[in-house]
Amino acid sequence: MNYYLKRTAQIPLTILAVATLTFGLIRLLPGGPFTQLRLELLQQGVPAEQVDARIEALQNIRPDAPLWQQYLDYMVGVAQLDLGQSISLNEPVIDVLARSLPWTVFLVVTSTILMFVIGVVIGALQAYWEGSRFDRITSGGSIFLLSVPYYIFAVIFLFFLAFQLQLFPTGNAVARGVDASLSLAYFSSVLHHATLPILAFTISGIGSTALNMRGNGIQVLGEEYVEVARLRGLSNNRIATRYVARNAILPMYTGLLLLIGFRLGGTVVLEEIFSYPGLGYYMIQAVNANDYPLMMGCFLVITVTLVVGVYIADLTYGLIDPRISAGDSDEY
Amino acid sequence: MATDSSSSVSDHVVSRGTVEDPIFEITDTSVTYDGETRVLEDVNVSIDRHEILGIVGESGSGKSMFASALLDAIPDPGVLTGDIRYHPPDGPPVDLLGLTDEELRQFRWEEVSMVFQGAMSSFNPTMKIGAHFEETLKAHDKRVSEGLEFARELLENLYLEPERVLDSYPHELSGGMQQRALIALSMVLDPEVLVMDEPTAALDLLMQRSILTLLDRLQRKYDLTIVFITHDLPLVASLADRMAIIYAFQFAEIGPRDEIIGNAAHPYTRALLNATPNVDAPLDEMQPIEGEGPAPVSVPSGCRFEPRCPLATEECRTTDPPLAAVDRDRTTHRSACHHPATAREEIQLNFDEANDELESASPVEPSEPAVETRAEQTSETPLLSLDDVAVHFTEEQGLTERFTKDPTVVRAVDGVSLDIHEQDLVCLLGESGCGKTTLGKTLIGLQRPTDGSIEYRGQDIWEAKDGDGEIPYDEIRSALQIIHQDPGSALNPNRRIADILSESLRHTHPNIGRNERRRRMHSLLERIGMAPAEEFLDRYPHQLSGGEKQRVALARALLMNPDAILADEAISAVDVSLRIEIMDLMLELQSEFETSFLFVSHDLSNARYFAEHGDGRIAVMYLGEIVEIGSAERLIHDPRHPYTEVLRWATPDLELDSMGAGDPPLREVDVPDPIDPPSGCRFHTRCPVAREACREQHPDLRRIDDGDGRVACFREDPNHEYWDSEPVDGAVEQPEEFTGN
């Protein structure tokens, strides 16, 4: 079967599988959220005969209908982007996600790109000066960064820069009282609040990117075509960009898109530490509050992003590396 | 420095045999690593303007260093010392080692440029070929449009379609096309000197020879000086004006081509000539050179070749012979040997007599009947039987082609029928991409045919695999074994030889104990010439030489007690001087272990050696079909298919008269695309004697009337309409008009 068709068909299938799992968890776990919701409603003094109707209104699920009926209802809801009502926040899950997702995407994309660029530059310099003092010191540094988890940096930054020196805020995405607008005040406030999380999230990833790039760079520098390019009298700049950098970065491209997906799920602890109102922050809240609909909504979003990221990487790699589109990588 | 050394320089010129108009004068030039390891030692050579100098040496003899030295491009941290003087066509001589970085940058490629071995690795894989040309022109401040015009002319002279090539990525071209594009790239600034370091080693013979013919033409057209460096003596012999032999980081012999081939004075040169598999040489006299060239740290104090030289005397052990004129009256031929006269007397060149013998004996008849009886007249069930087998691959497509084009089908093998008998020997011969490896893999049941059937002793292999066969699939699987081209990657690097070999033993003899296994491996290793076996058993593959690795791969296959072994270019990765040894070993073991051999090769002389010694057949393949099959004798001396004739032409020999004889008997250099093979006879697009009939009709393999074997060519049928149809464009009436021999 056609590879690309197959690849495209896999996306809805994967999402369907995750949604089904989501539904299964909600419905089948003992002591699940509906038991809790029913209890809450009863405690609030809602008459017992109205409880089911209320639950249905809140969660687009009819607790008394047969399981398959409920499953279909839920799936139709998901397809219409109706993920139910958050129990703890008492508003539609989709609203919560719409509010929090942009912040998380902002954090993740900015930090991943920063991490990639800085890592690639450091790695490239290391490859060029292989064996130099700079190379040895940065290699050690990279390994150090690689082995320290990002939340350690997050806690350290928070403690020293935010609490002790009070250079940065300790929570939230914007200062109170600053309205969302295209004003400079708003943007600077956003940046000010995002600096520490981005810094912590970036710094931990630089190590592995730099080491990766260093390895690729050294390999490419040893290639014959670089030697031939030098003999042909090309300028060092051109060799560095068109020959070394391009061929060294190419294999890291797929990894980059994957990384964005993975790091999206990795923001849970980060946003909790900085009280940053992103997806991860709400996910922790949902876990603590036993707010299954919200949790599952977050879970679905992260999955979809990861699946789409990998899909884009798969489809575009052939466009970026001319060797792939010709099917050269396929061995008969 | 120039003033006080001028007298000594002129001395050297005398002693090294003056060339009339040198373009390069290389004096006392050495390359040193780490201050002591010398990988090129005190070289004194001159290169004549507009000559083709062929330089031959084993791997690790310093020949690539010499090439790099001519561009002052020794890889770090090597240090180049001495004096290299370049004489431009006009203007004062240039002291290469005294140039500034910027002068050197301009000197390279504008005056002297270089072609490397691997064309694929010489191009940036993510840039189009055209971009390589443009950036080179820009870097040297040339006008891009004019330069590209010249590039197109060069590409056209190299039998390439300029627009298509310039607009392609490197991987979209075949190996031969890439190499020719690289030659064009190296000539785009119209340099004076072209240094070529093994430029054709990665290509098959036919392409090598075609490129050499084109080079010869380019050299004359653009007045180039070519320095051609290779390990392949007969190859360069057809092209070179002068030849030089490098041994252990120094020139051992240099002189006019005919002198070196016909009247070599250095024992090493003579041994090298005798070790070359050669279509015309009597087989028994091809002899490998014992031992290996010295490493740079352990160069002998006397003559470098002394440890391997059969004629070494006390003088050779103590005194390093200078590179001096062999005969007093002829200073052009110089050799570094104390006893050139003895060498000429004692070491007979085998191809000299060969010619006489072959000329007198009528070539066709001798071994035919034997082959006939075994291969054609056996009534028993053949070991392996292919019936009208086709293997088609569907190619993967890119994103956009998916929706616009039909899937492309590569017809790797098309309609092949072939029987392999017990203890048979068949060589599959053809250019790269002709489907010989695919056919080989189909024969041993590794590749499922898309059409037709393959039977093992009357049992369909793929039916057995699917579970309904009388002979269990496991038995068939272990009866058919393979030896790969590169033994280095075919052996697990993390396991000792003992572990690698006992794997097969455990399979064939599950009940024998550890000691018994070890004893058997021990005796087999000794049998294949790996002594002391005890020591080899505990080694890892990386501790073995290439030849030893291939022996282990062979032993591993033999321990399975196979009925047939596919040797897929199994000796290509082995040094030339060792190939005959490995082939001999395979032949001896064939009778001992009672197996059949399928030998895949692109080299007619190897295939011939194998088929002739093993009394087997050669099957010539072209674009997925067998076009001719027969005994080695008949194929060599009486080729019936024009394509066999082409392969015969492409096989280098050392016969001085036929050397450099004419253009290839081909109308096209490149093989047509196997996705869309030509109609009618698939060879008609390149065939020198193709006629209109060949365009439309497809010839079947038919028995040859007055010889053994079969051939698929209309010319075998005297009554065919071929004889009445018109020759196609560029084809000639008679084959005699294009062959030199």
The Cα B669–Cα B524 span in angstroms is 45
- Burial string for B476-510 (b: 16+ CB within 10 Å, else e) reads bbebbbbbbbbbbebbeeeebbbebbbebbeeeee
Whether B228 shows a pLDDT value over 90: the answer reads yes
Among A6, A219, A232, most B C-beta atoms within 10 A, so best to mutate, is A232
Is A59 found in the same domain as A126? no
Within 10 angstroms of residue B365's Cβ, the number of other Cβ atoms is 14
Give me the torsion for CA of B182, B188, B194, B197, rounded to 10°. Answer: -20
Is A129 found in the same domain as A62? no
Instruction: Enumerate the β-bridge partners of residue B514.
Output: none
Is A170 found in the same domain as A286? yes
Within 10 angstroms of residue B694's Cβ, the number of other Cβ atoms is 28
**CB pair distance less than 8 Å for B123 and A225:** yes
The Cα A198–Cα A15 span in angstroms is 29
* Three-class DSSP labels, A53-66: HHHHHHHCCCCCCC
**CB pair distance less than 8 Å for B136 and A318:** no
User: Residue A28: which domain range?
Assistant: 3-79
Of A129-143, B164-178, B183-197, B393-407, the range with the lowest mean pLDDT is: B393-407
Smallest CA-to-CA distance from B690 within B650, B642, B738, B646 is with B642
Strands (E), B60-129: 79-86, 94-95, 112-115
DSSP-derived secondary structure letter, A239: I
Q: Residue holding tokens 């879970």?
A: A299
Q: Identity (one letter) of the amino acid at B452?
A: G
Among B109, B115, B124, B441, most A C-beta atoms within 10 A, so best to mutate, is B124
pLDDT digits (tens, 9 = 90+) for B286-328: 666 777 777 777 788 888 888 888 888 888 888 888 888 887 7
**CB pair distance less than 8 Å for A231 and B73:** yes
Predicted confidence at residue A121, as pLDDT, reads 93
* List of chain B residues whose C-beta atoms are within 8 Å of the C-beta of residue A232: 108-109, 135-136, 139, 185
The last residue of one of the domains, among A79, A111, A130, is: A79
- Cβ-proximal residues to B193 (8 Å cutoff; 6+ apart), any chain: B23, B24, B47, B70, B111, B112, B113, B224, B225, B226, B227
Tell me the CATH number for domain B21-240.
Answer: 3.40.50.300
**CB pair distance less than 8 Å for A223 and B121:** yes
Whether B354 shows a pLDDT value over 80: the answer reads no
- Report the CATH superfamily, name and number, of domain B370-494+540-737: P-loop containing nucleotide triphosphate hydrolases (3.40.50.300)
Dihedral pair phi/psi, residue B450, rounded to 5°: -80, -15
Whether B671 shows a pLDDT value over 90: the answer reads no
Whether A269 shows a pLDDT value over 70: the answer reads yes
Is A140 found in the same domain as A71? no
Smallest CA-to-CA distance from B611 within B372, B428, B432, B480 is with B428
Among A7, A223, A228, A328, most B C-beta atoms within 10 A, so best to mutate, is A228
Q: Identity (one letter) of the amino acid at A112?
A: T
* List of chain A residues whose C-beta atoms are within 8 Å of the C-beta of residue B73: 227, 230-231
Average pLDDT, chain B: 82
* List of chain B residues whose C-beta atoms are within 8 Å of the C-beta of residue A325: 398-399
* List of chain B residues whose C-beta atoms are within 8 Å of the C-beta of residue A2: 402
The Cα B47–Cα A220 span in angstroms is 34
For B516-527, give the DSSP string: HHHHHHHHHHHH
- From B106, which residue of chain A is nearest by alpha-carbon distance? A233
Query: What are the structure tokens assigned to B144, written together?
Result: 């891009």
Share of chain B above pLDDT 90, in %: 20
Predicted confidence at residue B655, as pLDDT, reads 65
Is A58 found in the same domain as A106? no
Is A266 found in the same domain as A187? yes
* List of chain B residues whose C-beta atoms are within 8 Å of the C-beta of residue A223: 121
Tell me which range, B61-65, B147-151, B158-162, B639-643, is most confidently predicted by mean pLDDT.
Answer: B147-151
Cβ pair A279, A101 in contact under 8 A: yes
Predicted confidence at residue B369, as pLDDT, reads 42
- From B185, which residue of chain A is nearest by alpha-carbon distance? A232
Q: In what order do the strands lie in the sheet with B52-56?
A: B112-115, B193-197, B225-230, B52-56, B242-247, B250-256, B334-335, B324-325
Cβ pair B149, B116 in contact under 8 A: no
| Cα torsion A53, A54, A55, A58: sign | positive
Strands (E), chain A: none
**CB pair distance less than 8 Å for B140 and A321:** no
**CB pair distance less than 8 Å for A231 and B169:** no
Predicted confidence at residue B352, as pLDDT, reads 57
Domain ranges in chain B are: 21-240, 255-355, 370-494+540-737
DSSP-derived secondary structure letter, B386: E
Predicted confidence at residue B16, as pLDDT, reads 46
The Cα B252–Cα B43 span in angstroms is 10
* List of chain A residues whose C-beta atoms are within 8 Å of the C-beta of residue B125: 225, 247, 322-323
Smallest CA-to-CA distance from B148 within B128, B127, B169, B131 is with B131
Whether A324 shows a pLDDT value over 60: the answer reads yes
Contact status of A318 with chain B (Cβ, < 8 Å): yes
Average pLDDT over residues B1-30: 59
To the nearest whole angstrom, how far is the Cα of B124 from the nearest Cα of chain A?
A: 6
Residues within 8 A of B (CB atoms), A 249-268 only: 250
Predicted confidence at residue B373, as pLDDT, reads 42
The torsion region of residue B141 among left (phi > 0), alpha (psi -120 to 50) and beta comes to: left
Average pLDDT, chain A: 83
Decide: helix, strand or coil at residue B627: strand
Whether A211 shows a pLDDT value over 90: the answer reads yes
Of A238-252, A253-267, B108-122, B517-531, the range with the lowest mean pLDDT is: A253-267
Whether A210 shows a pLDDT value over 90: the answer reads yes
* List of chain A residues whose C-beta atoms are within 8 Å of the C-beta of residue B438: 332
Q: Which of B122, B398, B412 sits opposite A225 (nearest CB)?
A: B122
Asked if residue A313 is part of any domain, the answer here is no
* Three-class DSSP labels, B215-277: HHHHHHHCCCEEEEEECCHHHHHCCCCEEEEEECCEEEEEEEHHHHHHHCCCHHHHHHHHCCC
Whether B2 shows a pLDDT value over 70: the answer reads no
pLDDT digits (tens, 9 = 90+) for B647-658: 888 877 666 555
* List of chain B residues whose C-beta atoms are within 8 Å of the C-beta of residue A227: 73, 75, 116
| Alpha helices (H) along B275-318 | 314-318
Is A105 found in the same domain as A25? no
Whether A30 shows a pLDDT value over 80: the answer reads no
Whether B275 shows a pLDDT value over 90: the answer reads no
Q: Identity (one letter) of the amino acid at B657?
A: D
Among A225, A319, A320, most B C-beta atoms within 10 A, so best to mutate, is A225
pLDDT digits (tens, 9 = 90+) for B439-465: 999 999 888 899 899 999 888 988 888
Among A7, A8, A219, A231, most B C-beta atoms within 10 A, so best to mutate, is A231
Within 10 angstroms of residue B90's Cβ, the number of other Cβ atoms is 5
**CB pair distance less than 8 Å for B116 and A224:** yes
The confidence band for A119, taking pLDDT boundaries of 50, 70 and 90, is very high
Predicted confidence at residue B371, as pLDDT, reads 43
Is A199 found in the same domain as A71? no
Q: Which of A225, A319, A327 sits opposite B397 (nearest CB)?
A: A327
**CB pair distance less than 8 Å for A325 and B398:** yes
Decide: helix, strand or coil at residue B47: strand
Query: What are the structure tokens assigned to B565, written together?
Result: 């072994």
Tell me which range, B345-354, B659-668, B725-734, is most confidently predicted by mean pLDDT.
Answer: B725-734
Cβ pair B18, B325 in contact under 8 A: no
Report how far apart, in Å, the C-alpha atoms of A47 and of each of A41, A43, A50, A58, A61 are.
Answer: 8, 10, 5, 16, 19
Q: Which of B108, B393, B397 sits opposite A233 (nearest CB)?
A: B108
The Cα A229–Cα B124 span in angstroms is 9
Element (H, E) at B721: none
Peptide bond before residue B77 is cis, with ω within 30 degrees of 0? yes
Predicted confidence at residue B529, as pLDDT, reads 81
Whether A116 shows a pLDDT value over 90: the answer reads yes
Asked if the domains at B21-240 and B370-494+540-737 fall in one CATH topology, the answer is yes
Domain CATH number, residue A171: 1.10.3720.10
Whether A124 shows a pLDDT value over 80: the answer reads yes
Cβ pair B80, B41 in contact under 8 A: no
Q: Residue holding tokens 């050690």?
A: A140
* List of chain B residues whose C-beta atoms are within 8 Å of the C-beta of residue A237: none
- Counting the structural domains of chain A, the total is 2
The confidence band for B360, taking pLDDT boundaries of 50, 70 and 90, is very low
Of A178-187, A217-226, B553-562, B706-715, the range with the lowest mean pLDDT is: A178-187
- Cβ-proximal residues to A165 (8 Å cutoff; 6+ apart), any chain: none
* List of chain B residues whose C-beta atoms are within 8 Å of the C-beta of residue A235: 139
Dihedral pair phi/psi, residue B557, rounded to 5°: -65, -40
Element (H, E) at B567: strand B564-568
- Cβ-proximal residues to A44 (8 Å cutoff; 6+ apart), any chain: none
Smallest CA-to-CA distance from A32 within A296, A300, A298 is with A296
The Cα B30–Cα B661 span in angstroms is 37
Is A44 found in the same domain as A113? no
Q: In what order do the strands lie in the sheet with B79-86?
A: B37-48, B22-33, B79-86, B94-95
The Cα B290–Cα B272 span in angstroms is 11
Cβ pair B626, B701 in contact under 8 A: yes
For A102-142, give the DSSP string: HHHHHHHHHHHHHHHHHHHHHHHHHHHTTTSHHHHHHHHHH
Whether B377 shows a pLDDT value over 70: the answer reads no
pLDDT digits (tens, 9 = 90+) for B587-605: 888 888 889 999 998 888 8
To the nearest whole angstrom, how far is the Cα of A254 from the nearest Cα of chain B?
A: 16
> A26 or B638, which is more confident?
B638
**CB pair distance less than 8 Å for A231 and B109:** yes
Predicted confidence at residue B470, as pLDDT, reads 83
To the nearest whole angstrom, how far is the Cα of A124 from the nearest Cα of chain B?
A: 18
pLDDT digits (tens, 9 = 90+) for A272-282: 888 888 888 88
pLDDT digits (tens, 9 = 90+) for B29-68: 888 888 778 888 888 888 999 999 999 988 778 888 899 8
**A292-320 vs A3-28: helix crossing angle, rounded to 10:** 170
Q: Which of B135, B398, B412 sits opposite A238 (nearest CB)?
A: B135
The Cα B469–Cα B454 span in angstroms is 13
Whether B368 shows a pLDDT value over 70: the answer reads no
The Cα B608–Cα B278 span in angstroms is 9
Element (H, E) at A260: helix A246-265
The Cα B186–Cα B163 span in angstroms is 18
Predicted confidence at residue B719, as pLDDT, reads 84
**CB pair distance less than 8 Å for B124 and A243:** yes
Instruction: Please state whether beta strands B79-86 and B22-33 pair in parallel, antiparallel, or not at all (unpaired).
Output: antiparallel
